[in-house]
Amino acid sequence: MSKIITILFLSLLLLSACQPKKKVEQAKHPHCVPEGSLPLKYASRFAVDFYNGFKVISVFNNSDTIQYVLTPKGKPAPVDFAHAVHLELPLSKVVCASTNHVAAIAQLNALDKLIGLTNADLIYNKEVQTRLANGQISPLGSLEMNDEKLAMLKPDFVMTSGPFDGGDKLRIKLQTLKISQVINLDYLE
């Protein structure tokens, strides 16, 4: 009988040791405190927070939040943002998986950063057409991005519309190539 009690006691002790510890409430980012935020007038599905030496852009995708940490070249992402996509500034090479994003890049006067895009035959921007003709921008296919060309371009990131630009298949491809994906959800605003 004492053997059964001992086994029962040890089993209870083991089970109590396996119980998850109560989580201690802590700040979302205990080491990093934002110094300010970009005031937004019309958009609501993203936020930009300024920290000492870096910025964080949060994109709200229904039940999910995607974060991008922007740091100067050579500076690692802060430990509190290890899960975020890390982009080092200044950015110099961008690929667009959606023709919609070309217009936004043009508005930012950053077409010189655009090095590749899909559906090049659908572009009507004269400067982009000239850069395509001169080989400054590489056409990367229509329905699916050309992996080899993309890998050779070595962009800082590929801007996508998430599920409309290849979804998980493209995300896995970019992870394999070690290329960051920036998901632009402007169509949800």
Q: What is the pLDDT of residue 6?
A: 31
pTM: 0.78
Q: How confident is the model at residue 140 (pLDDT cuts 50, 70, 90)?
A: very high
Which residues are within 8 A (CB) of 189 and not within 5 positions of it... i.e. 6 or more apart?
42, 43, 44, 45
Asked if the model's pLDDT at residue 172 lies above 50, the reply is yes
Read off the tokens for 110.
């950053």
Give 23-51 as a DSSP string: PPP--SSSS---SEE---SS--SEEEEEE
Asked if the model's pLDDT at residue 189 lies above 50, the reply is yes
Q: How confident is the model at residue 138 (pLDDT cuts 50, 70, 90)?
A: very high
Which region among 58-67, 89-98, 103-112, 158-167 has the lowest average model confidence (pLDDT)? 158-167
Backbone angles phi, psi at 111, to 5 degrees: -65, -20
Give 105-139 as a DSSP string: HHHTT-GGGEEEES-GGG---HHHHHHHHTTSSEE
3-state SS class at 182: strand
Residues 30 and 81: their CA atoms lie apart, in Å, by 11
Residues 57 and 39: their CA atoms lie apart, in Å, by 13
* Segment 16-41, tens digit of pLDDT: 333 333 333 334 555 678 999 999 99
Which residues are within 8 A (CB) of 119 and not within 5 positions of it... i.e. 6 or more apart?
99, 142
Q: What is the pLDDT of residue 167?
A: 73
Q: How confident is the model at residue 164 (pLDDT cuts 50, 70, 90)?
A: low
Q: What is the pLDDT of residue 188?
A: 81
β-bridge mates for residue 61, sequence order: 64
Average pLDDT of the segment spanning 70-80: 92
